[in-house]
Amino acid sequence: MSKRILIVEDEASIRDMVAFALRRAEMEPVHAADAHAALVAIADRVPDLILLDWMLPGLSGLELARRLRQDPRTAEIPIIMLTARGEEVDRVSGLEAGVDDYVVKPFSTRELIARIKAVLRRTQADGGTGSLEVGALRIDGPAHRVYAGDAKVEIGPTEYRLLHFFMSHAERVYSRAQLLDQVWGGSVYIDERTVDVHIRRLRKTLEPFALDGLVQTVRGTGYRLSATP
Ligand code: CA
């Protein structure tokens, strides 16, 4: 089935160029000229990925990304942000808003399609096989086992769930509250400090394999799992 890609961009010429490239790559483009139109399109049918322009009239791309991440129905949709060169400094706020990747304008459609495919591969890595890989780490989902290279990792049940969540959403930053929600199911009896405790345990578990650096603290925001230090 072809992937449905929502293009949120106010410049019709860019929208058309991207739509043309998507069709050629056998993907199905859907257009939205602003955040409102994007929300209408998403309510109609959840896309496989969103290409989101940073500078939009009305609600900005960044604000829309934040909103989508807060809604459980849309929190998992991969987002690639389209930014102008000067907006590159704001990369950090975009990553904090949960954006999966960036493409800086002007971009070649060939580069854009490659990035879209990479993000789709990464975010849908679990599709069917139940196996996830980030760097030297691998999770065998059905067997509930974690491997560092060829070595089996002994891991506690909470750390396993935490790691599984991180590996299914690699490179994305999550706040403590979001992790509580996603990994602990939003139990009101659990304190946000619990997250820190389990992050520490997870790092300790990965330390003998020199993979503890994959679990990264993002100052003032939360945590992420990244294949790059
Ligand atoms: Ca724009």
Q: Convert the pLDDT of each residue in 210-229 to its tens digit.
A: 999 999 999 888 999 998 87
Show which of 93, 124, 155 is a domain's final residue. 124
Domain that holds residue 181: 132-225
Q: How many residues does the chain have?
A: 229
Distance 54 CA to ligand 1 centre (A): 6
Do residue 76 and residue 187 come from a single domain? no
Supply the CATH number for residue 119's domain.
3.40.50.2300
Distance 187 CA to ligand 1 centre (A): 40
Neighbours of ion ligand 1 (CB under 5 A): 10, 53, 55
For residue 94, which of 208, 153, 104 has the smallest C-alpha distance? Answer: 104
Do residue 117 and residue 19 come from a single domain? yes
Distance 63 CA to ligand 1 centre (A): 14
Do residue 24 and residue 115 come from a single domain? yes
Question: Which ranges of 71-108 does DSSP label H, i.e. alpha helix?
Answer: 91-96
Distance 138 CA to ligand 1 centre (A): 39
Distance 10 CA to ligand 1 centre (A): 5
Given this model, what pLDDT does residue 128 score? Answer: 46
pTM above 0.75, yes or no: no
Specify the range with the lowest mean pLDDT, choosing from 28-32, 43-47, 99-103, 159-163: 99-103
Residue type, 39: L
Mean pLDDT comparison of 52-61, 81-90, 154-163, 183-192, highest-scoring range = 52-61
Do residue 118 and residue 155 come from a single domain? no
Distance 175 CA to ligand 1 centre (A): 28
Distance 227 CA to ligand 1 centre (A): 31
pLDDT in tens, 1-13: 789 999 999 999 9
Query: Do residues 4 and 47 make contact, with C-beta atoms less than 8 angstroms apart?
Result: yes
pLDDT bracket for residue 70 (50, 70, 90)? confident
Distance 112 CA to ligand 1 centre (A): 16
Distance 32 CA to ligand 1 centre (A): 12
Do residue 8 and residue 114 come from a single domain? yes
Show which of 105, 124, 143 is a domain's final residue. 124
Distance 55 CA to ligand 1 centre (A): 4
Q: Three-state SS for 40? A: helix
Distance 224 CA to ligand 1 centre (A): 29
The larger pLDDT score, comparing residue 211 to residue 103, is at 211
Do residue 10 and residue 112 come from a single domain? yes
pLDDT of 76 over the 70 cut: yes
In the predicted model, what is the mean pLDDT of residues 149-170? 90
Supply the CATH number for residue 193's domain.
1.10.10.10
Distance 97 CA to ligand 1 centre (A): 18
Question: Which ranges of 88-147 does DSSP label H, i.e. alpha helix?
Answer: 91-96, 109-123
Query: Do residues 191 and 203 make contact, with C-beta atoms less than 8 angstroms apart?
Result: no
pLDDT bracket for residue 38 (50, 70, 90)? very high
pLDDT of 92 over the 80 cut: no
pLDDT in tens, 49-63: 999 999 999 999 989
Show which of 74, 95, 124 is a domain's final residue. 124
Distance 140 CA to ligand 1 centre (A): 42
Do residue 14 and residue 96 come from a single domain? yes
Residue type, 10: D
